[in-house]
Amino acid sequence: MKTEISAPARKAWMSLLAQADEAELSRLWHAFNHSPDFDWLRPPEAGGVMVRGRMGGSGAPFNLGEMTVTRCALTLADGTVGHAYVQGRSKPKAEIAAKVDALMQTEAAQNLRQAVLEPLQQVQQARKEARAARAAATKVEFFTMVRGED
């Protein structure tokens, strides 16, 4: 059964899956223990995406260089379509991401969110915070030397 999906919600989970650590995603997915029947619309293929920057950080765009991305698309038995565009060259990662994308549009969404997406989000957040905490410890605290004139 398909449910109505908002674009921002779908964007959020697809973005999370794209950046997920493959080992972490794979572990959570297999623990979820659900392998739906599906057909490939587009089997996984690795390719490149040209990443753009902006002159001066805010001006006109320019091409910076490429990154590797793997994409695929599949359809579940009930016709729900799942897409994946994930960073790197892992086909298994893309396959899991597309299955999660498809199942998130079904009644399985609630369980899947708890079993896979939320833990992934927590791991990612913890990793970011750990780096930010180290960066914060290297922030310079200036102090002014007392001068002898007066």
Token couple for 104: 């998130």
For the bound state, the minimum distance from the C-beta of residue 31 to another protein, rounded and expressed in Å, comes to 24
Check residue 138 for interaction with another protein (CB under 8 A).
Answer: yes
* b/e per residue 42-52 (b: at least 16 CB within 10 A): eebeeeeeeee
Using DSSP's 3-state secondary structure scheme, residue 114 falls into helix
Cβ within 8 Å of residue 41, ≥6 positions away: 73, 74, 75, 81
For the bound state, the minimum distance from the C-beta of residue 33 to another protein, rounded and expressed in Å, comes to 27
Task: Please give the residues from 24 up to 83 whose contact with another protein meets the rule CB under 8 A.
Answer: 45-69, 71, 73, 83
Bridge partners (DSSP) listed for residue 74:
40, 82
Task: Please give the residues from 83 up to 122 whose contact with another protein meets the rule CB under 8 A.
Answer: 83, 85-89
For the bound state, the minimum distance from the C-beta of residue 109 to another protein, rounded and expressed in Å, comes to 17
Check residue 135 for interaction with another protein (CB under 8 A).
Answer: yes
Q: Which residues bind another protein (CB under 8 A)?
A: 7, 10-11, 14-15, 18-19, 45-69, 71, 73, 83, 85-89, 128-140, 142
